[in-house]
Structures are given as structure tokens and as C-alpha cells.
Structure 1
Amino acid sequence: MYMETKRLTTRIGKLLSGTRKPDEGFATIFVYEPKDYLEKQHGKIYFVIEITSGSKSTSSVGEVIINSIKDEYYSDLNRSVILSFESALRKVNEELSDFASAGETDWIGKLNVACVILAEDKLHLSKVGTTEAYIVRGEKITHISEGLSVEEEKEKGNHPLKTFSTITSGSVQEEDKIIVSSSELFYHISLAGIKKIVSENTPSDSISKLKDLLKNEEGIGSIGFLIIENLTEDALSNTNEHTTDEIWIEESKPSKSFLAILSSILISIATFFKSSFQIIKSKVIPATISFGKKIKTKIVKTKEEPLENFDDEKDMKEQKEYLTQTDKEPIETDKKEKQPKNNETFINFVINYFKNFSFEKFFKDVQRVFGNIKNAIKEKSKSIYFKLFAVFAILFVISIFFLVRNNNIEKNNNTAKLKLDSAIEKENKAEFAIITGARKEARNLLDESKIMTEDLTKTKYSKEAHDLLAKINLAYQRVDGITKTNTVLIQEIEQNINPNAFTILNNNIYYIDSKNNQLISFDIDAKKQKKYDFPTPQKPFSKIIAIPKNNTILMYSDEPEIFEFNEKNGKISEATSKNGFNKAFDLANYQLNLYILSKEDNQIYRYTKSASGFSSASNFITDKSINIKDAVSLTIPSNTGFVYVLQKNGTIIKLTKSKKQDFTIKDMPFSFKNPVKIQSNNDGTKLYVLDKELGIINIDANGKYTETFKFKDIKNIKDFYIDNKTGTIYVLSGNKILSLEK
């Protein structure tokens, strides 16, 4: 039966910088994805070219490389892909040699090019210079251009005929992402950071995130960065993204100068008054004349013309003629009166008026204007144009006030927008620092971003500020390695039992019902509970541990006594020691041997297990300088034998063969508050500390802080247990045993 192979296609992202000066060269990306059916079978060609020469012929060199390879590669489609590629490289070398022979040699030694051929599921690559290529497959990144061209170029002396001389080939798979980039990008963002971004995002989102990280970087040279993602045609059709996306990193624009801002304000004022005059001319004046007509009052009258002989029609006609005249010609004034040559008088008036602006002054000016109008009416010596002038003056003052106010608002909004952009930039840089493990740098950036953002919560950008604050708070959790997780209820214990500790053996949970003098087991899978009676009434038990090697449970009471439960026969018996057991603050086991932590004696007692019971106690600590009087818990990984003692201040003492070893907790972003228990996995690669206020804190074998588990739905944790078989974390909270949700 024939099974059709999935055909792969691509979607790409291109990131380029436009910051380098023309005389310093350029970087470009060229993609050729043929439309012709036969050419499609021969594959696609991708170029990333950087030439660090400022020669006028530089662009011509790029064109020669692209056109020579492309034309020759597709010239004979009967050849195999690799033969076509080899022929294309020979052709471009010849063209470059001819170019150099013509005297154009400035590009030699300054050429950085990678040419990629993708045909079916094969990739072929040739490069010259410092341009690099990588392939990201899942969480792994491979340097596929490593070792190509650099050493060979030194040996050949950069001879044009040997510019392209090596091809590397390999297979590609669905979801592979190929990165081809000029070297400049790696000076600003680490390879680990690039890999993280590319592996977790589409090409379009990847170049967008990279641009955000680079946009305010200083001294960026030519960047040509190409991502090619392989995916099936079906997968591509299910996405809403373009198959090709291109983003440019532009130089930051200089802020406007004071003169530019002032010019903008004056233009706005002029535009406002121009429109205001048009409104007065077209609406206010006719409305005022109409009002005059209705009340039959002649505003402009002479001694020779009595009021009762006022001719409405004639007066309207005269006013219209006058208005028509004023539209065409300026009103004549006293020629001796000095006229301003430009707008300086107007500007000076605005500046002086609003220099010491107050509402009290403003209303006094308005009152004075209306007073003048009133006097003018009383004297009956002013025309309608005086009223219009007064209205216009009021509009003028009010408009100036609002223009200045609006300009201040706009200025404040612009300042807020700049601050928001800066806060976003710092948060983006913090995210990148988190990716690369620079926790301290990330925290400092988040602190700066948070302070800036909090100032914006009462501005126009309030919503954006609150959204950014939420993002910053989540980033703080990642900086601190905090994982907030839900829990799954395993068992709800009867209310009258109220255990303080539990352990797990062979997928069975064990805890003690001191009130009823019973050991209780609960099968996690079957959800079934069993009860086992102690042979005689006992004092309350404070500690319980599992010994997987012989399938037993040890239980300690404050007598001090230790009882042993055998899981195979379901019987509880009292454990014996030649000289009895010391008072214990905590218990641990290594293989079959029992270790008791005694704070009062500043000692760890070791009891060796034998067929007849436990031996008498032997002192594990022989160095008197070791102080464990503040100890709260101990643990011993079954595969290493190291003893870890947790102190009440959160420090951990590491002991081996009774000697103290160097062990310091590193990179922990906060201090312990109430540490109560320590446990390790079997191989000792992970230590877990229960802090009742902080959660369960994970530290590796070298003391490096890893993460903290916080629980969304529980608070008071009494005890916890790490199941070494499954890696599951179980916790006892109140009367519930829960597991962390995976």
C-alpha cells in the first residue's frame, strides 16, 4: 500500500536594520520561491547578504551574487539539486572574479553571505564570511554552518574564484526552524535567547519580539536575520499568518525642539482663528443683523435721520454693501498709527497674557469687555461691528485659554506615552533576562518598569498601565521562580483523626490516628482505606517514615518508642534497640539504618538494622565544631548517603562521613521565613524545603535555587512527601491529602 509523503512548505520572517550609514555597507535578505511548477520541484533559494564596504559598487556585488546563483541554478532542471547548486556557485565565483578584474575590489574580504537551498526535505547551504546558520528542532539548536569557509578563506587569500567553495547538506523535518543571520545580531542578543524566542513563537512573532529587544539598543550595525519554518501545507492553511513577514528596526526619531513645538502651537492657533472668523462671517454677523431687524432698533444713526424713519430694507442693504466691501479691502485707519509688520504683537500678547494667567484676571477682563459694550450702547455711538468685535474678543480669550490647556494636556499625554513605551521596553528586557537566567538584572528592570507604570495609572493610558502592571507581577513570579499550581484532592481524612504527619510506601498513604490508637493506610489508586491496631495504647506519634528497602513503616512516639509496621503481613510491632532509642526531633533512614536528630545533644544518632532489631546508638557527628542545635529536619538521599540538616534560619548543613561539606544556597531571591522540613529525591539531585509561609522550595545538589511551588487553593501545610517513583509532590493540609496538579 502506497502512503503519500507529507509535502513541506515554508513560512518566513525577516528582520533587517536600517541604522547603519550608507558608507558602512548594508545587509539584505532575498527570497526566491518559484511559481513555475518545474522550478518548484527544484526547490527554493534564500540569501542573507551583508557587505561591510561603503563602495558605490557594493549593491552591484549583491545583485551579481543573487542573479548569478538564481539564474544558473534553474537553468537546467534535469540536473540534480546538488549538481545545480555546485554549478551555480562556480558561476557566481566567475562573475565575482570578472567584477574584480574590472577594478571593483573593495568588497573582497568584506563579504558575508549565506545561501540556502530547500528542496523537498533536504537543505543545502553554502556561506562565506561571518554569516551563520542554525537549525532549531524542538528544544535543541544545531550550528549547521560551523566550520564552513572561515579557515578556508584564510588559506585561499580571499581569491574571487574561490569565494563560494563548500556545501553542507542535511535533512529537515516538519516544525524545524532554520535561522540564518548576519553576525551583528549575536552582539546584542545571546544565541540561547534567540533560540528560546524562535522555538516558542512563529516566525512573525519571533521577529517582532527580537525587534522589541533591539529597538533601543545603541550602536546597532547591519542586521539581516531570516527564520524559515518548515511545516505542511495543511498546517500552513490552518494559520492566519502571512507566509512572509518583514520587519525593519528603524533609528529612534529625535524629539521635537522647543521651536518646533512652539511653531506647531502657533499654527494651531492660526488655524483656529481662521475657522472662527469664517463662522463669525457666515453665521454670527447675519444672525446679529437679523436680531437688529426684529427689534427695529437702528444701531448706527445720524442726527439727520430720526429713529422712527429707519428703513429696514435700506439699512440692511447698506450693511451688506459695507460687509462686501470689507471682505475685499481693509478698513482704512489713521495712517499715522503704527501697524505691526508681522505676528510678533499677537504672539507677545498671548505670551504676556498667559504668563501670569488666573481665572480672577480672566473674569475681570470679560467684565471689562461687557462694560465697554454697555457704555457703547448707552452712548449710541458704536456700530454693530463693535459688538461683533467684543464677541470676537471674548472668543479669542477663551480659545487661547483652551488652546494652551489642550496643548498642556497633549504635552502630558506625550510624556505619559514616552514613559509607557520606556516601561514596556524595560519589561521586555526583563523577560529576556529571565530567559537567559539573569535574575538580578531582571528584577532591577522590573522594579524600574513598575515605578514608571504606577505613575501612569491615572493618565490617558490607565488601561495600558494596569495591563502592564499585571504582566510585571507575573514576571516577578518568574524571576523568583514561583510556580503557582493547583492541587488534586487525594483523600479527605475523617475530622476526628487530625494527623500531623504522613508518609507513602508502594502507592499507599500512611498516617496515625492517635485517638483510636490505629495506623491508617489509603490506596491512592483503589481509593480504599485500611486500619491497623497498635498492640497496646500509645502516646501520640509525632514522626512517621517509610523504609522502601524492606517495605516497612517506622513510627516514633515521645516515650521515646519506635514501632514498626510490616506491609507484607499487616502487623505492627515494637522496634528494639540494645540501649533503647534517644529522644528524636526528626527521623531519617539510609537503606535500612535509622538516623535520629537530637537537638539537645547536638548529635545525629545512627542505629544499624539487623535481623534481631536495631543496634545501640552511635554518634554520626564527631566534629565538635558542627552545631546543629537549631536544626529542624534532616534527610538522606538513598543513593548518595549525604546527610542534609535544615536549620531554622533556612541554612542547610551537608555532612558526609561525619564531616561538614561546603554547601551554600545560591541565587535565591528571598529569605526563608518558617522552614520546617527537608526532603530529597533518591539520587540527591534535588532538595525540597517546606516553608510554611513561602511554599515548597526546590534547590539542586549544588545549592542553586530552582523554583518555589505555591498552592492556589491551600495555605496551612503540615507535612509533604516526594514520591521518588513518580516524582509527585503530596501535601497534608488540615484534614486533606492533596497532590500537585501536573
Structure 2
Amino acid sequence: MPSHIKITHQGKAPGRFLTSQLLKSAEGNKEEMGQIFTLVEIVGPDPQFPQIGLTILNTLKREYYRTTSTSDPQNLESALKKVNEVLASIAQNGETNWIGNLNVVFCLLIGREAHIATTGQVKIWLARNNTLTPLANPSPIASHLHPLKTFSTITSGQLTKGDKVIIASSEIMTNFSPQNLKEFFANNIRDGASDLTQSLRKLRQLNVNVWAIDLEEGIYETFYLDAPSETPLTQAVSYTKKYFIPLAKKFSSGAQGYFRSGVKTARTSILPKSQEFLRHASDKSKTFGAEVAPKFQKTADYAKKFLSQRMKKPVNHEDETAMKNANIIGRSIYTINDYRKMHPQGLKKFIYLSTTYVRKTIYFLDNQLGYLKNWFLKKRKQPIATIAGILFLIVILIVSISIQKNRQSARRVEAEQRNQLTEATKKLEDGKSALIFNDKENATILMDDAIKTATSLLETNIKTDAQAIIDSASIEVDKLTQSTRIKEIKPFATNSTSKVFFTYKGNCYTFSPNGAIEKISILDGVAQNASQMPNDVGAVISLAKKSDDQLYLLTDKSKVFLFQIQTNALSEMKNADGDFKPSVDISVFGNNLYLLSAQNKQIWKYQPTDATNFGSPSPFAQSSLASALADSKAMAIDGAIYVLTKDKVAKIIKGTKTDFSLKGLPKAFADLQSAKNIYTSENTPSIFLLDATRPRVIEFDKEGKYLHQYLFPSAIKNPSWFQIDYIGRKVWALSDGSVWELDL
């Protein structure tokens, strides 16, 4: 890759969109297609300009590196045509402010071949033999020029040793002439770029980007106009990275041979001689130790005795006698201070206390080390001490390895998280680019993918950046898909074992598997027992409203009860056949009771004979519906019966399946694989589905056309039951034992 220095900015350029990027193929087998040095400038404050500029770059990169022709100019020409088509599409969608304000240069370098395409007022020169030659003439775009002709020519040529290519945005000519630029880059491009950056900073000219490209030098660096000027320390660090470290690497590669030779000599010559010397020295040391050790021990004992005598605290015998007498007489009520005794103060006091603590420490260590020495010298204790020492070292080694592995693992995880964040950011930008082309479907998919990726990072150290992506993408996705994201809210009931619930006048009724019916206040969550189901009747798995304050309860043992909310009374329903048919859901229409039986692949209709009894069941669905009813989960009735499977809804009228289907669901949200419940009524103009695939409530009209979706907050992960108040625009949802009240 040729050497290149870039002068750019970290933030936004004032009054324009301006960027300089180096485009390369992400695939290793396409390196021979070269690199594209780009500079894109769109003058003006239009907020759509960044998306247009990035779209130009993404299109060029995608189209150039996926072409298959062996002709590089032809590949570049095909990519430029696609860029023109994209710009035309943008203009057709009403975005035309960029026309007349676009300045772009694409410089494709493949070895020493250069292929250049430009538009607008961008500058590009060739520095050769102390001469600066322009490689493209300014070509301003008139406002009436068709976007398909934005890029119309390609300039090609060969570069030679010592050539430099200088690319700059149009504003560079405000304060610098070509002669000035030639002087800046006459020698080392790194030094020239550094000097030019300093000059631009002094002039406060931040709306400039510059590329300096040299085929010969191994330098890759970026200077930022809006970054602080380099201090001597940062310059030293920079020079160390760019010059000293490469030189050190070159030196080390040459020194490796000498090192190997030295190791070989040490192994074959020095090491054997050293071993022989050590064996001889070991024999001598044994003799020496036998002769010298007793003398050394005698000297050490004498030194210890001498030090202990000198460091003993002097004993005042008069004081001892006085203390004895005091003990005989009794404790004195007076405290007598001898004025003749000088108490140390300040520095002397510090020295006195320090020497006292040092003396005590020496006494302590002498006693402890003597104990350890005596213990260790006992032959029967030596193996134990050796094993303990080895075990201690092993533990230290294991702990060190574990800490190192944890650190490496943490670094890998952090790198993966950063890659995910980059991927989410790219999808968000690609989605915004698709919006410019009015490709709403693809834009929705891309931005929804960005939300999913960023959501997985909310429990990491980069959660702030991830949340920013989610917020930005959510705004666009919600507009495109008629979605509402319900804000986080605490549940009013928790730790419930009930599979269903019902709300009535500010209270929520739950039904535990042990038969307990609880009444929970939605306002403050206070619970109290309301009633108790009989023993051995099973757990309540579904319910249906007979009237505002009366519920039919269906159990998993095919029992049906009528629950009077006002009086908390329970009555068991009977039918002419004994037990009711095994069913998964219950519903009421008119005075008739309907049971949905996946086991029997049928909908059973029961007509009442009196307040607590029903006649024999009659099949409602035709036999042709058996396959559709085999996977049924729930149903709702408004005159027609809507039967829910895991991803479809069948509409049945007079026992016959109609031509009904759910349609219009946004493609990014079309994964309806785990629908849990369905609701509608004769007074409700919509059909509502509870979906656990991505926790939400989806609203359709009575013809199956998608209207809206309400995405649950992240705390609701596995919704299993819900209740809708269409007029009050509320939904209550049960998920993992907790119940929420949410606004639609």
C-alpha cells in the first residue's frame, strides 16, 4: 500500500459535509484491485448531506469491488455509473439541494497505475520533479445538469518513483497557492502535512481535507485540524512510533541470527564447562563448609549476644524498689512528675518512637525467625516444609494463570462487543441511506437489526453508545412501521402462579393452581383472598366474560365454573353429557358457551338449559377444519369465530373457514412465530394478538390488515395472557408471574 497522510477533522466541518476515506476490499483475494482514496464535500448545512455523502461512498465501494471484469478502468466506470444512478434516484425523491454543491475526487491506485474521477471544485495535483501539475480541471455542476452525468470522465496514467499525489478540498486555495503546497510537500510528506496542519490551525481554517500520497515511503498517519497542537512530548512519541520503532524492529530481526549463534555456542561449549566447574566447586564447598561453619556459628552467636546486651532497656533498681514499696503501701492518689526527666519533643520524639518500634520489631523477628529456623532444621519437619513451599508456589502459579486468562478473556469479550457496536452503527447508517432512496422495507430491516444488535450490548460497558443507536433507530423504525414502544413501568403484581387473570373496577383477579382466587389492587398491589376453588377440579387455564361481573372459568380437568365477582360466589356448571370436552379455551357469545378443543380438533357449542346446566355439545366446525384446529391455541368471537394457531388466524363463519389472512405486517416484524392469545368482540372494530416472539400486541382490522403494534418494555419477556380495554386504550399483560397495566 502506498504511503499516505491525511489532514481532516474529528468533528463536523463547519457549513458542509466533508469526509476523506480510504476504501479497500474486505476480502483478501481482491487486494489486486487496489485502494480508492476518496474526498467528498457537499457545501451547505442540509441535514441530509451526510447521508447522501455516505451513500456515494458505500455505493462506490460495493459496486467496484464486486465487479468481475479484468479491466480496472472498466470496473471503476461501472461503479461510477451506479453512483450516478443512485444520485438520480435521490434527486427523484426530492433531495436536490446537493446539486451544484457536490465536490468529489476518487483516486484509484493499483501499484503504479492511477485512475481518477472528479466532479465539482475539488483539487488534485501530481508532484513530480519539483513541479506541481493539476490532474483534473474544475467542473462545476450547474443546477440544471442531470445527476446521471455527475461523473462522466476517468483520467488514467502511470506514476514513477518519487511521485507524490496531493488531493485537497476546494477551500485550500483560500490561503494557499499551488506553489505553497509544492513547498510543503517537497520532501517528506509527513513533515509537510504536519507543517500544513499547523498553518491551517493558525488561520482557523477547519473546513479543509487533504490527502498526501507517496509511493515510496512507509508512512501512514492522520492529522486532525480540530485536535490540540502537538506538544514536544507528543511529537517525541510520534517520532518514536514512526521512526525509532521500525528501526528497532529492523535491528532486532538482524540480531536474531547473532542470538541463535550465541545460544548454540552456550549449549555446546560454555554449558558443559560450567557444569564441570560447578561440580568441582560443589566438592570444594563441602570441605570448606565443614571447616568454616563452626567458626561462623561461633561468631554469629557472639554477635547476637553482643547486640542483645546493647539493646536491652536499662533497669533502674531504685525505681524497682519504689514500685515494690508502692505495691505494699497501696496505690497513690497523687501523680508525681520528675521535672528533671526531659521528655522528647518534635523531631526527637519521632526519632525516639521510631527507634523504640524498630527495637521491638527486631526482638519479634529474632524470636520468630529463630523458631522457624529451629523448626525447619529438624529433619522430620523438612519434607513437610518442602511440600508446603511447593504447594504454595503452585497455588501462586495457578492464581496468576487464572488472573491472566480472565484478563485475556475480558479483552476478547470487549473486542467482540466493540465489533458488535460497529456492526450496529453500520446497519443504522445503511438503513438511513436506504431511506433516502425511499426503500422503506430494506431500511426497516436494517435499522431493526441495528436495534437487536445494540440491545444485546445494554448490559456492557458500552451501554451508553448502544442506547444511542437504539434511540436513533427506534425513532425511524416506529415511523415506518406504525409502532409504539411502551415505556418501562413496574408491575402491580408479582410472583403469581396464575395462568390467567381478569381486571374489574381497579382490581385484578388471579387464579392459582392450588385453587386460591386472589383479588389484587391495581393501584397499590395489595392482595387479599377472594374465594377458593373446590379440591381436585384442576387449575384454571382460561376464562370468558359472561357479563361485566360474571366469569366462566375453564380448568385443565374439563370443569367449568361460574364466578360471581360481586359476591365471590362459585358455581359448577353441568351439561347433559357429564364433563365438558377437553379444551384449551372458552368463549361466550349470546347465551351460548363455546369450547375450543385442540385434542378433538373441534369447536364445541353448548346451549344453556337453566342457570347452571347446559345441554349436550354440538360440533360447530366442519370436518375440513380439523387440521387447522389441531394446533389451535385460543379463540375470539364477534359473530364469526377467530381461531389462533402459533402464527396464523382462521376466521370461521357458520362452521366454514373463510378466505381470511393476516397481511401488511412489516417485513422486519413479520416473524409471528409464537402468538399466545387473541381478542376481539362485537363492539371492538379491531383484532388484537398477543405475541411472545418479540413481546408486543399487534392490532389488525376485521379484514386482517395490519394497523399498529405496541412493543412491550424489556421487562416483559414472555407474555402469556392479556386483556384489552379498547375504549380506555389499555392493555394488561401477564409475563413470568407478574402483571402489568400499560397504555396503548
TM-score, scaled to structure 1:
0.42
TM-score, scaled to structure 2:
0.42
